[in-house]
Amino acid sequence: MAGKSVGMPRGVEIFRNAIRIRFTWNGVRRSETLPYPTTQKGIAAASKLRDQVVNLNKHGLLDDDKYAELFPGSLTVVGSTPHFGEYAQLWLDSREIAEGTRLNYKGALNLYWVPKLALVRIDLITTTLIRRIITETKWASPGVKRNALVKLSTILRSAVLDGLIPKNPAEALELPKRTRKEIDPFTLDEANQIIGQMYRHEHWPSTIYAAFFEFAFFTGMRLSEILALRWDAVDETKKHVHVCRTVALGKVEERTKTGSDRFVLLNDRALHALEFAREYAERRKKGVGKVTSTPYVFPPSKNSEYVKQTSDLHKQWGPTLKTLGIRYRPPYNCRHTYATICLMSGLNPAFISQQLGHSVQMLLSTYARWINSSSDWSELEKLQIGIKLVSAETSAPQVIDR
């Protein structure tokens, strides 16, 4: 049975949370479900399409090919070329990707491409059409524009591989350049001040965040990886942790951001944070009232198994920096701080990149300024051999000692 259709345009209805239109074709009553959102704009677009169908049918222009073009997903049509909306949904449904990545694709598609291309047959999408949409769209930033174009190109590239189109019409488009944010780490002294202030918190359950940030500052792990860290991944004898989980969209997932797990070696400061976390867990168990048992190393101060999202950390982070008078930078900069301290201490870039979980190339490009600063003075020492000048009288090189 159709859904509530009161106040709907003629021949348009909501059916199973989707928009459906009804009409007659070749003397047979038909209904087709459309890839439109159940909003006023979607309903208006559905009504417009129905009027087009009725008009084509009235003039005898609604043949099999035209029907296939208008309704590629219809059971009436076999082997027809799909519209972009249908193909994009099929592509998304067939991919085994993280939920966050799926939502990223859905957001870009629904905001920028589906409203313009949903009913365009995928083999009729041209570079010129895409350029027109780009021109008509108000982009929030070059980064948003780049992300949307990459998502579109990925789907169209898949359509090429599926044999639906001969070439990718989005490949000819120039992507906006990546905008790399300036790295702004804390100094070692600032890191120690932040950690010390958090350990002095009057409310003892909140001191777990001191251990959390000490661990973050001195391992360089991503915040989401530390939130998902369990005791079964900690080996204090071998002094390492197995990074194999992350918190994403409030859930712990058995993966990392890069898809590859790694082992992070623990220095004395990281081991101190773990020691405090164990003592904290014992004290938590002895606390008054019901306490949730948790396998996680850094559980929230309230009665919960683990911290659901990194934004929850800001409740402790912001006030601490304000109290200390330290210029605000987000908690993620703990990772940058670890990387820059390691570089300025002369550690091997290959080792640092393995600890951080990304490539040496990314490390070198992201932290180039700190790599240079750690070796600038040693390079300058090479000049201390003296400066050779040419005498005007002898034309022979002379060494002027300093």
Q: Pairing state of beta strands 234-235 and 28-34?
A: unpaired
Q: Count CB neighbours of 333 within 10 A.
A: 19
Name residue 20's beta-bridge partners: 13, 33
Residue 365 has pLDDT above 60, yes or no: yes
* pLDDT classification of 292: cutoffs 50, 70, 90: low
Place of tokens 């939130």: 227
Using CA atoms, how far apart are residues 186 and 183, in angstroms rounded to an integer? 10
* pLDDT classification of 266: cutoffs 50, 70, 90: very high
Residue 387 has pLDDT above 90, yes or no: no
Least trusted range by pLDDT, from 3-17, 33-47, 146-160, 255-269: 3-17
Q: Helix/strand/coil (H, E, C) string of 92-121?
A: HHHCCCCHHHHHHHHHHHHHHHHHHHCCCE
* pLDDT classification of 46: cutoffs 50, 70, 90: very high
Let me know the angle formed at the C-alpha of 269 by 268 and 273, rounded to the nearest 5 degrees.
115
How far are the Cα atoms of 101, 249, 298, 302, 337 from residue 312, in angstroms, in the given order? 22, 12, 13, 12, 21
Q: Count CB neighbours of 109 within 10 A.
A: 23
Q: To the nearest 5 percent, what fractions of the chain are helix, strand and coil?
A: 50, 10, 40
Tell me the pLDDT tens digit for each residue of 51-87. 999 999 998 898 878 887 888 766 555 456 788 988 8
Tell me the pLDDT tens digit for each residue of 235-245. 989 999 999 99
- Whether 342 contacts 191, CB under 8 Å: no
Q: Which domains does the chain have, with CATH numbers?
A: 12-70 (no CATH), 84-161 (1.10.150), 188-377 (1.10.443.10)
Rounded to an integer, the average pLDDT of 113-129 is 91
Those residues whose C-beta lies under 8 Å from the C-beta of residue 183, and which sit 6 or more positions away, are: 336, 340, 366, 367, 369, 370
Predicted structure pTM score? 0.62
Instruction: Give, as one character, the DSSP assignment of residue 19.
Output: E
